[in-house]
Amino acid sequence: DQQVKQNSPSLSVQEGRISILNCDYTNSMFDYFLWYKKYPAEGPTFLISISSIKDKNEDGRFTVFLNKSAKHLSLHIVPSQPGDSAVYFCAATYSGNTPLVFGKGTRLSVIA
Amino acid sequence: DSGVTQTPKHLITATGQRVTLRCSPRSGDLSVYWYQQSLDQGLQFLIQYYNGEERAKGNILERFSAQQFPDLHSELNLSSLELGDSALYFCASSVEGPIYGYTFGSGTRLTVV
């Protein structure tokens, strides 16, 4: 039972363009969402998060949008850079305390 | 260096054997989480410890067990290994709850042959 779904296993984007990574969730109790980025042979690293009381959070080139009614969030990277090529995981938790539930990840390739 | 140390980095063992994976959390972090990443799977939560006590349990098999010691390092024990246990095992730590973000180690790649 996948509570957090990333339906696109991979995405290819040209350098300088926008990358949009999508994530859907089924558990309406989730109230905090995070994105992690993973390079090969490394552990995932925290990228950006959003609370369910907000619908947008921005940090430099990275913006996360949350649509609670659709149970959908997305990560926008603008402009995309070759160094952004990695696997991106969406994760969710509730009550700020339960262990993170991760999606299967989306592999982003940014082509120069 | 994330501050979370996992050893060993690679492990190859035979079916039926038992192995122990070790994790030292980032200094000051009281919570340790174990996750398994199999081929084409996301990060599956196994178990959480907080300051020495089990806090939450996920999809952890009965053949697997874990503990957190007084110095806060944690060990994940995998026994009666099967081919399907081959995976990346990640440890993460956090100072409070996960909304403050986990810090992950670089993982242990287990290959069961």
CA–CA gap between residue B5 and residue B104 (Å, rounded): 9
Q: What pLDDT is attached to residue A95?
A: 75
At A32, the pLDDT band (50, 70, 90 cuts) reads: very high
Q: Min CA distance, B39 vs chain A (Å)?
A: 10
Q: What percentage of chain B exceeds 90 in pLDDT?
A: 83
CB-CB neighbors (< 8 A) of B43 in chain A = 44, 89, 91, 100, 102
Q: For the residues B3-7, what does the mean pLDDT come to?
A: 95
CB-CB neighbors (< 8 A) of B4 in chain A = 43
Tens digits of residue pLDDT in A53-79:
999 999 999 999 999 999 999 999 999
At B40, the pLDDT band (50, 70, 90 cuts) reads: confident
Q: Is the pLDDT of residue B106 over 70?
A: yes
Report DSSP letters for B46-112, one per residue.
EEEEETTEEEEE-S--TTEEEEE-TTS-EEEEE-S--GGG-EEEEEEEESSSGGG--EE---EEEEE
Q: Is the pLDDT of residue B59 over 90?
A: no
Would you call B33 an interface residue with chain A, using a CB distance cutoff of 8 Å? yes
Higher per-residue pLDDT: B42 or B89: B89
CB-CB neighbors (< 8 A) of A54 in chain B = none
Q: What pLDDT is attached to residue A96?
A: 67
Would you call B1 an interface residue with chain A, using a CB distance cutoff of 8 Å? no
